[in-house]
Amino acid sequence: MAANEEKKSTIKEKLAKKKLSQIPNVKKESHKENVDELKKSFAEKETQCKNLFDSLQRTMAEFDNFRKRTEKEKLNIYGNAVCETIEKILPVLDNLERALSSISDKESNYYKGIEMVVKQFVCVLEDLGVKAIKIEPGEDFNHELHCAVAHVEDENLGENQIVDELEKGYKYKDKVIRYSKVRVAN
Protein backbone atom coordinates (compact mmCIF):
# COMPACT_ATOMS: atom_id res chain seq x y z
CA MET A 1 0.00 0.00 0.00
CA ALA A 2 2.80 2.32 0.71
CA ALA A 3 4.09 1.68 -2.78
CA ASN A 4 0.65 2.52 -4.13
CA GLU A 5 0.59 5.70 -2.15
CA GLU A 6 4.05 6.63 -3.39
CA LYS A 7 2.96 5.99 -6.99
CA LYS A 8 -0.13 8.14 -6.41
CA SER A 9 1.90 10.95 -4.87
CA THR A 10 4.47 10.83 -7.71
CA ILE A 11 1.68 10.81 -10.27
CA LYS A 12 0.06 13.77 -8.50
CA GLU A 13 3.39 15.60 -8.40
CA LYS A 14 3.98 14.93 -12.09
CA LEU A 15 0.47 16.15 -12.92
CA ALA A 16 0.93 19.23 -10.74
CA LYS A 17 4.30 19.98 -12.39
CA LYS A 18 2.74 19.45 -15.80
CA LYS A 19 -0.12 21.80 -14.94
CA LEU A 20 2.26 24.40 -13.51
CA SER A 21 4.40 24.25 -16.60
CA GLN A 22 1.35 24.88 -18.76
CA ILE A 23 0.03 27.77 -16.64
CA PRO A 24 2.79 30.27 -17.49
CA ASN A 25 2.22 29.58 -21.22
CA VAL A 26 -1.46 30.28 -20.78
CA LYS A 27 -0.70 33.45 -18.85
CA LYS A 28 1.74 34.64 -21.51
CA GLU A 29 -0.82 34.08 -24.24
CA SER A 30 -3.60 35.75 -22.24
CA HIS A 31 -1.26 38.68 -21.46
CA LYS A 32 -0.54 39.09 -25.15
CA GLU A 33 -4.24 38.96 -25.91
CA ASN A 34 -4.97 41.42 -23.10
CA VAL A 35 -2.25 43.78 -24.29
CA ASP A 36 -3.54 43.54 -27.86
CA GLU A 37 -7.09 44.16 -26.66
CA LEU A 38 -5.93 47.09 -24.52
CA LYS A 39 -3.99 48.58 -27.43
CA LYS A 40 -7.02 48.16 -29.68
CA SER A 41 -9.31 49.68 -27.05
CA PHE A 42 -6.86 52.55 -26.49
CA ALA A 43 -6.71 53.25 -30.22
CA GLU A 44 -10.52 53.27 -30.39
CA LYS A 45 -10.77 55.61 -27.39
CA GLU A 46 -8.07 57.85 -28.83
CA THR A 47 -9.99 58.09 -32.12
CA GLN A 48 -13.20 58.74 -30.23
CA CYS A 49 -11.45 61.45 -28.18
CA LYS A 50 -10.10 63.12 -31.34
CA ASN A 51 -13.57 63.05 -32.90
CA LEU A 52 -15.14 64.56 -29.78
CA PHE A 53 -12.44 67.25 -29.59
CA ASP A 54 -12.96 68.07 -33.27
CA SER A 55 -16.71 68.24 -32.68
CA LEU A 56 -16.15 70.53 -29.69
CA GLN A 57 -13.94 72.86 -31.73
CA ARG A 58 -16.52 73.03 -34.52
CA THR A 59 -19.31 73.75 -32.04
CA MET A 60 -17.24 76.50 -30.41
CA ALA A 61 -16.52 78.04 -33.82
CA GLU A 62 -20.20 77.88 -34.76
CA PHE A 63 -21.17 79.56 -31.50
CA ASP A 64 -18.56 82.28 -32.00
CA ASN A 65 -19.90 82.91 -35.52
CA PHE A 66 -23.45 82.99 -34.16
CA ARG A 67 -22.44 85.52 -31.49
CA LYS A 68 -20.73 87.77 -34.04
CA ARG A 69 -23.66 87.50 -36.46
CA THR A 70 -26.24 88.40 -33.80
CA GLU A 71 -24.11 91.35 -32.64
CA LYS A 72 -23.94 92.61 -36.23
CA GLU A 73 -27.70 92.12 -36.63
CA LYS A 74 -28.34 94.13 -33.45
CA LEU A 75 -26.26 96.99 -34.79
CA ASN A 76 -28.07 96.83 -38.14
CA ILE A 77 -31.46 96.85 -36.42
CA TYR A 78 -30.45 99.91 -34.38
CA GLY A 79 -29.07 101.66 -37.47
CA ASN A 80 -32.19 100.91 -39.48
CA ALA A 81 -34.43 102.16 -36.65
CA VAL A 82 -32.46 105.42 -36.45
CA CYS A 83 -32.68 105.88 -40.22
CA GLU A 84 -36.42 105.22 -40.34
CA THR A 85 -37.07 107.60 -37.43
CA ILE A 86 -34.90 110.38 -38.86
CA GLU A 87 -36.49 109.93 -42.28
CA LYS A 88 -39.92 110.55 -40.71
CA ILE A 89 -38.86 113.74 -38.87
CA LEU A 90 -36.76 115.36 -41.62
CA PRO A 91 -39.84 117.00 -43.19
CA VAL A 92 -40.35 118.85 -39.88
CA LEU A 93 -36.83 120.27 -40.16
CA ASP A 94 -37.47 121.18 -43.80
CA ASN A 95 -40.62 123.08 -42.81
CA LEU A 96 -38.78 124.97 -40.06
CA GLU A 97 -36.05 125.96 -42.55
CA ARG A 98 -38.72 127.09 -45.05
CA ALA A 99 -40.33 129.16 -42.29
CA LEU A 100 -36.95 130.81 -41.62
CA SER A 101 -36.41 131.64 -45.27
CA SER A 102 -39.90 133.16 -45.57
CA ILE A 103 -39.35 135.68 -42.76
CA SER A 104 -37.95 138.94 -44.13
CA ASP A 105 -37.15 140.55 -40.74
CA LYS A 106 -34.06 138.68 -39.57
CA GLU A 107 -33.99 140.65 -36.31
CA SER A 108 -37.49 139.70 -35.16
CA ASN A 109 -38.00 137.51 -32.13
CA TYR A 110 -40.08 135.16 -34.25
CA TYR A 111 -37.13 134.59 -36.61
CA LYS A 112 -34.65 134.15 -33.75
CA GLY A 113 -36.93 131.63 -32.00
CA ILE A 114 -37.31 129.46 -35.10
CA GLU A 115 -33.58 129.75 -35.77
CA MET A 116 -32.83 128.46 -32.26
CA VAL A 117 -35.18 125.50 -32.77
CA VAL A 118 -33.52 124.68 -36.11
CA LYS A 119 -30.05 124.83 -34.52
CA GLN A 120 -31.17 122.58 -31.67
CA PHE A 121 -32.74 120.16 -34.16
CA VAL A 122 -29.50 120.02 -36.18
CA CYS A 123 -27.43 119.46 -32.99
CA VAL A 124 -29.66 116.53 -31.97
CA LEU A 125 -29.29 115.01 -35.43
CA GLU A 126 -25.51 115.37 -35.28
CA ASP A 127 -25.45 113.76 -31.83
CA LEU A 128 -27.26 110.77 -33.35
CA GLY A 129 -24.65 110.58 -36.12
CA VAL A 130 -26.79 112.18 -38.83
CA LYS A 131 -25.09 114.73 -41.06
CA ALA A 132 -26.30 116.85 -43.95
CA ILE A 133 -24.79 116.05 -47.34
CA LYS A 134 -22.75 119.11 -48.36
CA ILE A 135 -23.28 120.37 -51.89
CA GLU A 136 -21.53 123.16 -53.74
CA PRO A 137 -22.81 124.55 -57.07
CA GLY A 138 -20.53 123.33 -59.86
CA GLU A 139 -19.80 120.06 -58.06
CA ASP A 140 -20.10 116.88 -60.15
CA PHE A 141 -23.34 114.93 -59.82
CA ASN A 142 -22.90 111.75 -57.73
CA HIS A 143 -25.74 109.24 -58.07
CA GLU A 144 -24.80 107.70 -54.69
CA LEU A 145 -25.59 110.99 -52.88
CA HIS A 146 -27.77 113.03 -55.22
CA CYS A 147 -31.11 112.71 -56.96
CA ALA A 148 -31.50 114.84 -60.10
CA VAL A 149 -35.02 116.29 -60.24
CA ALA A 150 -34.44 118.98 -62.85
CA HIS A 151 -32.21 119.60 -65.85
CA VAL A 152 -31.14 123.03 -67.07
CA GLU A 153 -28.94 124.33 -69.88
CA ASP A 154 -26.09 126.44 -68.52
CA GLU A 155 -23.10 127.54 -70.60
CA ASN A 156 -21.03 128.30 -67.47
CA LEU A 157 -21.22 124.72 -66.08
CA GLY A 158 -20.02 121.46 -67.54
CA GLU A 159 -22.04 118.34 -68.18
CA ASN A 160 -23.64 116.69 -65.11
CA GLN A 161 -22.61 119.46 -62.75
CA ILE A 162 -24.91 120.56 -59.95
CA VAL A 163 -26.59 123.95 -60.41
CA ASP A 164 -28.27 124.13 -57.00
CA GLU A 165 -29.84 122.09 -54.22
CA LEU A 166 -33.63 121.91 -53.99
CA GLU A 167 -33.83 119.73 -50.87
CA LYS A 168 -31.07 118.76 -48.44
CA GLY A 169 -29.90 115.18 -48.22
CA TYR A 170 -28.81 113.43 -45.04
CA LYS A 171 -26.54 110.51 -44.13
CA TYR A 172 -26.39 108.31 -41.04
CA LYS A 173 -22.78 107.13 -40.80
CA ASP A 174 -22.19 105.79 -44.35
CA LYS A 175 -25.84 105.16 -45.20
CA VAL A 176 -27.86 107.74 -47.12
CA ILE A 177 -31.16 108.46 -45.35
CA ARG A 178 -32.40 110.90 -47.95
CA TYR A 179 -30.71 111.82 -51.22
CA SER A 180 -30.08 115.49 -51.98
CA LYS A 181 -32.52 116.69 -54.61
CA VAL A 182 -30.57 118.79 -57.08
CA ARG A 183 -30.81 120.56 -60.42
CA VAL A 184 -28.21 119.37 -62.92
CA ALA A 185 -26.73 121.30 -65.86
CA ASN A 186 -26.44 120.26 -69.51
Distances (CA, A) of 35 to 23, 39, 41: 18, 6, 10
Q: Which whole number is the average pLDDT over 169-175? A: 94
* C-beta of residue 151 within 8 angstroms of C-beta of residue 184: yes
* 57 pLDDT higher than 50: yes
* C-beta of residue 159 within 8 angstroms of C-beta of residue 132: no
- Its pTM stands at 0.64
At 141-154, the pLDDT tens digits run 999 999 999 999 98
Burial class for 162, CB neighbours closer than 10 Å (0-12, 13-18, 19+): buried
* 172 pLDDT higher than 50: yes
At 75-117, the pLDDT tens digits run 999 999 999 999 999 999 999 999 999 999 999 999 999 999 9
